Amino acid sequence: MIARKKLVAGNWKMNGSLVANETLIKGFLPEVTDAVDVVVFVPAPYLAQVQGLCQGSAVKWGAQDVSSMPNGAYTGEVSLPMLEEFGVTHVLVGHSERRTYHFESSDAVADKALAAIEASIVPIVCVGETLQEREAGRVVEVINAQLDPVFDRCGRYAQNGKWPVIVAYEPVWAIGTGVTASPEQAQEVHAAIRQRVQEKLGLEVAQSTRVLYGGSVKPSNAAEIFAKNDIDGGLIGGAALSSSDFSGIIRAAR
């Protein structure tokens, strides 16, 4: 059984300023050790600033979205070669806010994941059901439908028992609402995701692939959630904007 290192990822969403970012990073940096991986997903204009603040530390930084195209007439988009110039190692794809407000399909999300892998940047593929879908008993069906295009396009990059993809399970009803899935509810879905990875890519890949939980994680509930077998850390929104909260969540992941 491969030990999976916990990962705590902060999604700043469309928040921050030069002054606030510096205060935030300097506040949680002392908590970061080799025991836990930490990545912050920052708005694109701040990548250079965050690179300057985090370079040489154990903190990695990433973007909240990316184009699957390398360059060209795609107004408003940011490409992987651009992210590479700023030392980006990870990128979020398919966050529910992108799927909802920007109508991103699971095929488009999988195209982005593939382009990221081909640029040696790790995609964190976000999946999750709405409350209506949960109440209709469709959680696993919805998540498999979101993940299957990713297996189809990116599965061939699973090699030697490793897959350069991280999955984030984020129930839409728990994002930014203050309502968290119970550790048991989250574990149940994480186990189903790992099962799907096993069906598609084999046991070894399933055991090495990290699956994060996201949705109203706070210092007060993080340890209980991260203690579950198939939960390998968290994707943190609101609480990633406070250095004391983010520090508390990093401590909970140790």
Residues that bind ligand PEP in the complex, under the rule CB under 6 A:
11, 13, 170, 175-176, 214-217, 235-239
Report, in Å, the least distance between residue 156 CB and ligand PEP. Answer: 28
Q: Is residue 95 among the annotated active site residues? A: yes
238 labeled part of a ligand binding site: yes
- Catalytic residue flag (residue 97): no
Give the nearest residue (CB) to ligand PEP. Answer: 237
Residue 42 backbone dihedrals phi, psi, to 5 degrees: -115, 155
> DSSP state, 18?
H
Residue environment code for 154-175, b if the CB has 16+ CB neighbours within 10 A, otherwise e = beeebeeeebbbbbbbbbbbbb
C-beta of 127 vs 175, nearer to ligand PEP: 175
Q: 237 a known binding residue?
A: yes
- The total of other beta-carbon atoms located within 10 Å of residue 250's CB is 26
Q: Residue 166 phi/psi, 5° resolution?
A: -115, 140
Among the listed residues 31, 90, 95, 129, the single catalytic one is: 95
Q: Choose between 68 and 216: whose C-beta lies nearer to ligand PEP.
A: 216
Please say which residue, 151 or 213, places its beta carbon nearer to ligand PEP.
Answer: 213
Which residues, listed in sequence order, are joined to residue 55 by a DSSP beta bridge?
A: none
Q: Is 68 annotated as a binding residue?
A: no
**Binding residue per annotation — 11?**
yes
Nearest distance from residue 186's CB to ligand PEP, in Å?
12
The one-letter code for the residue type at 18 is L
Tell the smallest beta-carbon distance from residue 51 to ligand PEP (Å): 22
Nearer to ligand PEP, 50 or 201 (CB): 50
Catalytic residue among 31, 97, 104, 170: 170
Is 218 labelled as part of a ligand binding site? no
Partner residues linked to 122 by β-bridges? 90
Contacts of residue 63, Cβ cutoff 8 Å, sequence gap at least 6: 41, 42, 44, 47, 78, 83, 88, 91, 92
Closest contact distance (angstroms) between CB of 126 and ligand PEP is 7
The alpha carbons of the chain give a radius of gyration, in whole angstroms, of 17
Compare residues 88 and 236 and give the one whose CB is closer to ligand PEP. Answer: 236
Least distance CB 28 / ligand PEP (angstroms): 15
On whether 12 is known to bind a ligand per the annotation, the reply is yes
- The CA-based angle 115-208-34, given to 5 degrees, is 90
> What is d(CA 184, CA 196) in angstroms, rounded to the nearest whole number?
18
Bind-site residues for substrate: 11-13, 176, 216, 237-238
Give the catalytic positions in this structure.
Answer: 95, 170
Bind-site residues: 11-13, 176, 216, 237-238
